[in-house]
């Protein structure tokens, strides 16, 4: 048997296990195209702030909304994936102890 034939046989066995109810559906067999991911209230607040105040860093958003910059970055993962927000560049921190670069985010209209 070639490697391709072994792979096909293995996938057939895995799909038989799904049919028998012994395992969940294989990720490659799930159609994600119709899946709509809803946004949390926190994510909506961040998007609203981006729309109202324009492009901002996570530190600026955190100051305005009362979250940490790490939380803001995590809140923006799903909106970026849904193309409701995007990263437009990086900037250096000003007037802060840490001098690392930050992403600048903007809402997509």
pLDDT > 90: what percent of the chain?
71
- Give me the CATH topology for the region 41-107: Arc Repressor Mutant, subunit A (1.10.10)
Q: Kindly provide the b/e burial profile for residues 11-34, where b requires at least 16 CB atoms within 10 angstroms of the residue's own CB.
A: eeeeeeeeeeeeeeeeeeeeeeee
Predicted model pTM: 0.63
Domain locations along the chain: 1-35, 41-107
- pLDDT score of 97: 67
pLDDT digit string, tens, across residues 20-50: 999 999 988 887 777 777 899 999 999 999 9
Residue 3, H or E segment: helix 3-19
């Amino acid at each position: 048997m070639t490697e391709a034939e072994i792979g096909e046989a293995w996938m057939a066995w895995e799909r038989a296990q799904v049919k028998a109810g012994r395992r969940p559906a294989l990720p490659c067999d799930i159609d994600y195209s119709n899946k709509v991911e809803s946004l949390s209230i926190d994510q909506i607040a961040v998007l609203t702030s981006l729309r109202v105040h324009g492009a901002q860093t996570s530190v600026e958003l955190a100051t305005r909304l009362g979250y940490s910059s790490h939380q803001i970055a995590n809140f923006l993962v799903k909106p970026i994936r849904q193309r409701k927000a995007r990263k437009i560049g990086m900037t250096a921190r000003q007037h802060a102890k840490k001098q690392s670069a930050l992403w600048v985010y903007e809402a997509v209209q």
